[in-house]
């Protein structure tokens, strides 16, 4: 399976539309969302095209293709408008020989890995900064934010397929790729 990995949408309908255009262009089979879907939070500015209702409507069209986790900005009311589960702190995905642990990053992160996670792929968001590296038998990936990237970076997402991850700008340019 080929998964698009996005994080920190923060209610930006414009950013989500751009990401979904890339999802279709790249022929993805599934969408992994690493939290902070609808709300921008008290520490963030309103993102361009802020429209949580529009974001929910767009994502609900892909509900059978989405695997999502709860971010630190999610609330129970968000689950009421989304047609896919989004309130778990993490999900474990098995893809052939690869174990993928997906979380937002505010509970588990590269400095606080889940117990027993000694190999596989660790996906997290929260920092709004893309990261992709190999650490022992683990690939660590943060796709960055599609809506509110930090440190002057471009909005980014990642694509996963068969143990390989590629970080892209939201405009389709490859930044970095690594394989386990």
Backbone CA torsion sign across 9, 78, 4, 161? positive
Is 146 within 8 Å of 7 (Cβ atoms)?
Answer: yes
Question: Per residue in 116-152, pLDDT tens?
Answer: 898 999 999 999 999 999 999 999 999 999 999 999 9
Question: Per residue in 89-103, pLDDT tens?
Answer: 999 999 988 999 999
Q: According to the model, what pLDDT value does residue 43 have? A: 82
Q: Is the pLDDT of residue 45 over 90?
A: no
Could you tell me the pLDDT band of residue 55, with boundaries at 50, 70 and 90? Answer: very high
Which distant-in-sequence residues (6+ apart) come within 8 Å of 26 by Cβ?
2, 4, 159
Q: Is the pLDDT of residue 24 over 90?
A: yes
What span, in angstroms and rounded, lies between the C-alpha atoms of 151 and 161?
28
Structural domains of the chain, ranges and CATH numbers in brackets:
2-179 (3.60.21.10)
Q: According to the model, what pLDDT value does residue 41 have? A: 78
Average pLDDT on 148-168 reads: 98
């Amino acid at each position: 399976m080929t998964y698009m990995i996005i994080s920190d949408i923060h209610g930006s309908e414009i950013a989500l539309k751009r990401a979904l255009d890339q999802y279709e262009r790249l022929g993805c089979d599934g969408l992994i969302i690493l939290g902070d879907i609808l709300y921008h939070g008290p520490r963030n500015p309103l993102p361009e095209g802020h429209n949580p209702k529009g974001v929910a409507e767009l994502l609900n069209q892909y509900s059978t293709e989405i695997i999502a986790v709860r971010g630190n900005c999610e609330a129970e009311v968000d689950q009421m408008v989304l047609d896919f589960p989004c309130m778990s702190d993490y999900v474990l995905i098995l893809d052939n020989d690869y174990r993928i642990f997906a979380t937002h990053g505010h509970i588990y992160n590269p400095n606080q890995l889940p117990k027993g996670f000694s190999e596989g792929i660790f996906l997290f968001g929260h920092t709004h900064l893309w990261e992709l590296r190999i650490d022992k038998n683990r690939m660590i990936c943060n796709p960055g934010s599609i809506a509110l990237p930090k440190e002057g970076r471009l909005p980014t997402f990642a694509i996963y397929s068969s143990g390989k991850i590629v970080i892209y700008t939201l405009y389709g340019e490859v930044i970095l790729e690594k394989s386990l």
